[in-house]
Amino acid sequence: MSQSAYLVVAAALFGLGAAGVLLRKNPLVMFMCLELMLNAVNLTFVSFSRSLNDVGGQVSVFFVLVVAAAEVVVGLGIIVAIVRRRRGASADDMSLLKG
């Protein structure tokens, strides 16, 4: 597969993620769309790393995935706690978190 094919797939994934963040109001769906966008960027890093025969992009993806895993644990914990407390919670209700 050529690099342009990977970049087209990454652009499509990023576009789907961006549309999901902008159009959806459910915090869980928005969070999943952000993760989709992050994985699209990772695919771009790996694609360029492969075409340049450099391992730097793949190492960057490894560190990004480690940070994303930690972010998922904390983010999902907060979001699930909010959704459990208020059943119909939407992104508009997040302004209630202000102290």
CATH of the domain at 36: 1.10.287.3510
Residues in the chain, total: 99
pLDDT per position as a tens digit, 21-79: 999 888 888 889 999 999 999 999 999 999 899 898 889 899 989 988 898 889 888 88
Dmax (CA) for the chain in angstroms is 51
Res 94: pLDDT: 66
Domain that holds residue 58: 3-97
d(CA 13, CA 26): 19
Beta strands (DSSP E) in the chain are none
| Contacts (Cβ under 8 Å, ≥6 apart) of 93 | 82, 86
How many domains does the chain divide into? Answer: 1
Q: What's the whole-model pTM score? A: 0.80
Cα first-last separation, the chain = 51
